[in-house]
Amino acid sequence: MPHRTFFWFIIPSLTAMILFIAFPVISVITQSLHVEHEKVLISSESCGPFGCKQVTVIDVEATAQLRTDQPLGQFSGFDNYTNRNHLAFDEISLAWSNSENMSMFFNKLLNLPFYKALAFTLTYTFVVTPFVIVLGLAIALGVNALPKFAKGPTIFVSLLPMIVTPLIGSLILFWMIDGEGVIGASIQSLFNDPNLSLKASPALTWMMLIVYGIWHSAPFSFIVFYAGLQTVPTDTLEAATIDGANRWQRIRYVVVPYMKPLVVFITLMQLMDNFRVLEPIVSFASEASATSLSWIIYKDLTSDTQLFGSAAATSMLTIVGVAILLLPVLFRTWRDFSRTAH
Amino acid sequence: MSNPAQRRSTSLAIISTGFVVLWIMVAASPFLWTLWGSFKVQGDFFSKADWTNALYGVRTMIETGDFFTTNGYYGAWVEHGFGESVINTTIVVVSTVIISLTLGTLGGYALARSGFKYSFWILMLALVFRAMPHITLVSGYLLPFFEWNVWGYLPTSIIVLVAINQPFTLWMLHSFFLNIPKDLDESAMVDGCTRFQAFRHVIIPVMWPGVITTGLFSFLLAYNDFAVTASLLSQDNQTMIPKIASFLGTTQVEGNVMFAVAAVVSAMIPLFILVMFFQRQIVSGLTAGAVKG
């Protein structure tokens, strides 16, 4: 296909991506280097019967004018990145020198909003992803052994947790684990503790969010593995049986190697999707015990005074995080590609 | 099952079937529970006394005189105007799917038929774009959109969703077009068609399975989106998912959480119907990228 034709075919799609994905990234970078204008203050002396004093009032009009003239705010360099709500270098060094031991230091660290969110986001990503892979493979092996008539309906039901809107799926779970919901109430009666609340304790909240994540993503890896299982050649399995491999060895040495590229694919997709976890936190209203990077951006953007600079700085840090996560996988893909190309 | 490699001992078969049954229960019961509970009053769905009340509708019987009540649905659809957000969702989703597919088929076809190195780089770029959390992009949109006075309108959200959808659409359609033999359009070009005519008359008639599958995923992305629609649409133009999220704030205070439950069930139903009719396409779409490597 000549370059010209290729160009005309790809241009609409490429334009959309450049305008609405590449440019916003540039816009995020610019915004992250600016902060909102401070309020314009007028000080005047007001004199009363008891003498004069300095009064400072906010000049609402001038503030609004300044904000419309320069919506980006004022240039602040890397302040957005280093202030308390983001990387918080000052607070960390202070905490480091004031803490007697590591656990005290980590306690202080996890009180800083960015690190609190980062801790949950990373935990969520790295707990959900392996669980999803193992559970998905187990379900796929199980469904593969079912009689033919049962497979279709099983796949139908299995798809539901994945297909349903994340906000809705997590809300449903949230209502069930409510102290008065079915799971919450059952757990209370199970442990005979009427005050036990899955929402009150941070550890339990983290656990419930992770359970939701696994429930939501397991179908994806199940479907991918299930399709992969159909491509495992029966000849090889038979040969392994004749050579004396037992069932476990057949799975370990024949099936699993066939699944390897699928594991890479699922890992890649899961790392991307789990790192951006947002909806469950909104549904669970769990900001007291668990927040995520996406959630703090969302909160900055939707609160009454929108903090564009702060949101942009967190966004940049999140993008860097995604890049670090995906680098190994991307590098591997690139190596495979150049190997097949030459 | 005469194949010795696939013969299984009975105990293993029981364990594996039991595991699948357990999974099915875990996967399905939250939906059934909520569907059933949406026809009850709050006192049953969130029962202080006994969770079985939700099954039998004890409070519902006392409060409304019937075992089932549609009060939740009435509240959501009539009092809180859920219907408007359903119309908005329909507009957004249908437009997003049609525009994404139009751009995506052209681009995906070009990528599949071009052997140049830069087509690989475009695909890699698309993968990088796919990895960006949507909310980080939203924080780039908001300020310019405010400045240009385009914030809050449906078309803005549609264009943004189309763009966010493109990386995925390109990848998927690219792999579908790779499966259509090159000879097909090349022989049309030997017969004197231009590349576009070959695409128009030879490829379009055979590409529908791939396009339908990709369309389903575009549909799901637009329908399920929260980050973009919640922050880019004004209160009047809200689609279903942000509407449900805003229900939470207001209804919990009023003690009308059942409105939210009813709205959630209403938003769930179209998805279930979709899976019912297009299960095969969804499964093949999920695996298209993976199995071929």
CATH architecture of the domain covering B79-291 = Orthogonal Bundle (1.10)
Give the model's pLDDT for residue B251: 58
Give the model's pLDDT for residue B2: 44
Give the model's pLDDT for residue B293: 40
Of B133, B231, B282, nearest to A302 by CB-CB distance is B231
Residue type at A20 in one-letter notation: F
Phi, psi of B200 (to 5 degrees): -65, -45
Q: Identify the residue whose tokens are 């700085």.
A: A313
B255-290 as b/e: b if 16+ CB within 10 A: ebbbbbbbbbbbbbebbbebbeebbebbbbbbbbbb
Between β-strands A41-48 and A51-58, what pairing exists: parallel, antiparallel or unpaired?
antiparallel
Q: Are B265 and B34 in contact (CB under 8 A)?
A: yes
CA distance A158 to A218: 9
**Whether B113 and A278 lie within 8 Å, measured CB to CB:** no
Give the model's pLDDT for residue A59: 77
CA distance B169 to A70: 38
**Whether B226 and A165 lie within 8 Å, measured CB to CB:** yes
> What Cα–Cα distance (Å) separates residue A287 from each residue in A81, A115, A171, A315?
22, 13, 15, 18
Between β-strands A74-75 and A51-58, what pairing exists: parallel, antiparallel or unpaired?
unpaired
Beta carbons within 10 angstroms of residue A63's beta carbon: 15
- Given a cut of 50, the residues of chain A with pLDDT beneath it are none
Nearest to A130 by CA among A216, A207, A221: A221
CA distance A133 to A261: 12
Burial class (CB in 10 A: 0-12, 13-18, 19+), A330: middle
Chain B CB contacts of A282 below 8 Å? 226, 245
Q: Which of residues 15-74 of B touch A (CB under 8 A)?
A: 16-17, 19-20, 23-24, 26-28, 30-31, 33-34, 45-48, 51, 54
Q: Are A124 and A274 in contact (CB under 8 A)?
A: yes
Chain A CB contacts of B23 below 8 Å? 139, 142, 158
Nearest to B223 by CA among B257, B151, B273, B170: B273
Burial class (CB in 10 A: 0-12, 13-18, 19+), A62: middle
CA distance A87 to A302: 22
Beta carbons within 10 angstroms of residue A334's beta carbon: 12
> DSSP letters along A179-205, please?
TTSHHHHHHHHHHT-TT--TTTSHHHH
Give the model's pLDDT for residue B8: 53
Burial class (CB in 10 A: 0-12, 13-18, 19+), A109: buried
Q: Which residues have C-beta within 8 Å of that of residue A112, sequence separation ≥ 6?
A: A84, A85, A88, A91, A92
The domain ranges of chain A are: 104-341
CA distance A203 to A182: 20
Note the ipTM here: 0.89
**Whether B226 and A282 lie within 8 Å, measured CB to CB:** yes
Distance from the A110 Cα atom to the nearest Cα atom in chain B, whole angstroms: 22
CA distance A172 to A7: 47
B197 touches chain A (CB under 8 A): no
Nearest to A297 by CA among B146, B238, B126, B141: B141
Q: Are B195 and A5 in contact (CB under 8 A)?
A: yes
Q: Are A282 and A165 in contact (CB under 8 A)?
A: no
**Whether B133 and A14 lie within 8 Å, measured CB to CB:** no
B136 touches chain A (CB under 8 A): yes
Q: For residue A46, what are the β-bridge partners?
A: A53
pLDDT in tens, chain B (293 residues): 444 444 557 788 888 899 999 999 999 999 999 999 888 888 788 876 677 777 777 777 777 777 788 888 988 888 888 999 999 999 999 999 999 999 999 999 999 988 788 888 888 888 888 888 999 999 999 888 988 899 989 999 999 999 999 999 998 898 889 888 888 888 888 888 888 888 888 888 888 888 999 999 999 999 999 999 999 998 888 999 999 888 876 655 666 788 889 999 999 999 999 999 998 888 888 776 655 44
Chain A CB contacts of B286 below 8 Å? 220, 223-224, 227
Residue of B nearest to A331 (CA): B124
A104-341: CATH homologous superfamily? MetI-like (1.10.3720.10)
Average pLDDT for chain A: 86
CA distance B136 to A313: 10
Residue of B nearest to A22 (CA): B129
The domain ranges of chain B are: 10-75, 79-291
In a mutagenesis test of the A interface, which of B127, B143, B204, B241 is the best target, namely the one with the most A β-carbons within 10 Å?
B143
B167 touches chain A (CB under 8 A): yes
